[in-house]
Amino acid sequence: MDHVQLVQKAVEARNDAYVPYSQFAVGAAILTSSGKVYRGCNIENAAYPVTCCAERVAIFKAISEGETDFKELAVVADTERPVPPCGSCRQVMSEFFSRDTRIHIANLKGDVRTVTIEELLPFSFSSQDLIKE
Ligand SMILES: O=c1ccn([C@H]2C[C@H](O)[C@@H](CO)O2)c(=O)[nH]1
Ligand SMILES: [Zn+2]
């Protein structure tokens, strides 16, 4: 599974997006070290803030199946530039991703940019900050 195939899985996941309010469909696909791929799409709600982004749906599906080691994540939307994940998703990624986890952000035009969570969320709040000494 290369990153082109993972982006394709994210494009497929995007077709299931539930976006009656924004019409902004997002797809995600995450590859774990065991070789499994979990898809995610954004799921909106009439109570707007209850919405969950595609990235978090994919990550939480994997975590809930006992997967904790993430190799690559692909995210895609119909944007001008490769879609930048929101702040909440970046914080969730920082909890579970290592410095080696590749994040492929993409758009439907085929533009792909590969980044790490350290690039997306530098100086992040982490479990280390909960420890006093
Ligand atoms: O990286 C992103 C950015 C936005 N959204 C969703 C949230 C909402 O449903 C819609 C518009 O913000 O797109 C995602 O799923 N991922
Ligand atoms: Zn998000």
Q: What is the mean pLDDT of the chain?
A: 98
Residues in contact with ligand 1 by the CB-under-6-Å rule are 19, 22, 24, 26, 42, 44, 51, 53-55, 75, 83, 85-86, 89
The pLDDT value recorded for residue 123 is 98
Q: For residues 100 and 38, what is the distance between their CA atoms, to the nearest angstrom?
A: 19
Task: Give me the residues paired with residue 31 across strands.
Answer: 37, 72
Answer yes or no: are the C-beta atoms of 41 and 16 closer than 8 Å: yes
ipTM: 0.99
pLDDT at 80: 98
Cα 102 to Cα 27: distance, rounded to the nearest angstrom = 16
| 95 Cα–ligand 1 center, Å | 19
Q: Averaged over 69-97, what is the pLDDT?
A: 98
Query: What domains does the chain contain, in order, with CATH numbers?
Result: 3-130 (3.40.140.10)
Answer yes or no: 12 catalytic.
Answer: no
Q: Are 2 and 29 in contact (CB under 8 A)?
A: no
Decide: 75 and 106 in contact? Cβ < 8 Å: yes
Confidence bin at 133 (pLDDT 50/70/90): confident
pLDDT for 81 equals 98
| pLDDT tens string 13-68 | 999 999 999 999 999 999 999 999 999 999 999 999 999 999 999 999 999 999 99
Q: Given the DSSP bridges, would you call strands 37-41 and 70-77 parallel, antiparallel or unpaired?
A: unpaired
35 neighbors 100 (Cβ within 8 angstroms): no
